[in-house]
Chain A
Amino acid sequence: KNQVEQSPQSLIILEGKNCTLQCNYTVSPFSNLRWYKQDTGRGPVSLTIMTFSENTKSNGRYTATLDADTKQSSLHITASQLSDSASYICVVTDRGSTLGRLYFGRGTQLTVWP
């Protein structure tokens, strides 16, 4: 069964600190993995995308890693800001689907305190 599991479920950190969010998946065949940021009451917005051959991808203070062998990904946020408070969702695309079917994790709810 294709699944995406994220941890932790929620996380509270102080402004300026770093944090790492985890994602494990069983989706096969694998096409790509995205990390989305979803602010409260808004739709998800893509932060990074990684394909099978990519190990690391950065987007400003966000750095994603992918280990396709162990089917694990992480999202590292450096020097956190109050605006980073949001849900971070790991999304894996199924290469075997003509639709490009997406499998979503439940997200990690990050709260950054001043």
Chain B
Amino acid sequence: EADIYQTPRYLVIGTGKKITLECSQTMGHDKMYWYQQDPGMELHLIHYSYGVNSTEKGDLSSESTVSRIRTEHFPLTLESARPSHTSQYLCASSETSGRSGSYNEQFFGPGTRLTVL
């Protein structure tokens, strides 16, 4: 079991609310990622980080924002949630390639299931 945690696991909120999804890892990994996954569909990368103070947008456009102030913490924020944000959000982390020969294996958290009413 990977040491990567996400809270909350489930969240049901009303439209217009501000939310923050938490993600923490204790493996000391430099790289962290946020994915969005809808039922029966592939994971889509929405944000990633190479390390502290690094944040980049992924392939799928998202109205969310992220921050990376500490290595172990990579929270995702939605300023004003809408029903279109209803989805599962998965956080992952990986070592910088080449250091362990792990071929960039990404370790995933359990996910947050977000429902916006």
Contact = CB atoms under 8 A, between A and B. Distances in A.
A21 B52 CA distance: 39
The B interface, classified by DSSP as helix, strand, loop or mixed, is: loop
B111 A43 contact: yes
Interface residues of B, number: 24
Given A43-B108, A43-B110, A31 B40 contact: no
Contacts of A41: 9, 110-111, 113
Nearest to A99: B48
A73 B2 CA distance: 26
A100 B104 contact: yes
Interface string B6-32: 000100000000000000000000010
A9 B31 CA distance: 31
The A interface, classified by DSSP as helix, strand, loop or mixed, is: strand
Interface string A31-70: 1101000000111111001010000000000000000000
A100 B94 contact: yes
Nearest to A100: B104
Given A46-B105, A99-B31, 5 more contacts: A43-B110, A44-B90, A51-B103, A99-B50, A102-B104
15 contacts: A4-B42, A31-B104, A43-B4, A43-B90, A44-B43, A44-B108, A45-B108, A51-B103, A93-B103, A93-B104, A99-B31, A100-B31, A100-B97, A102-B45, A102-B106
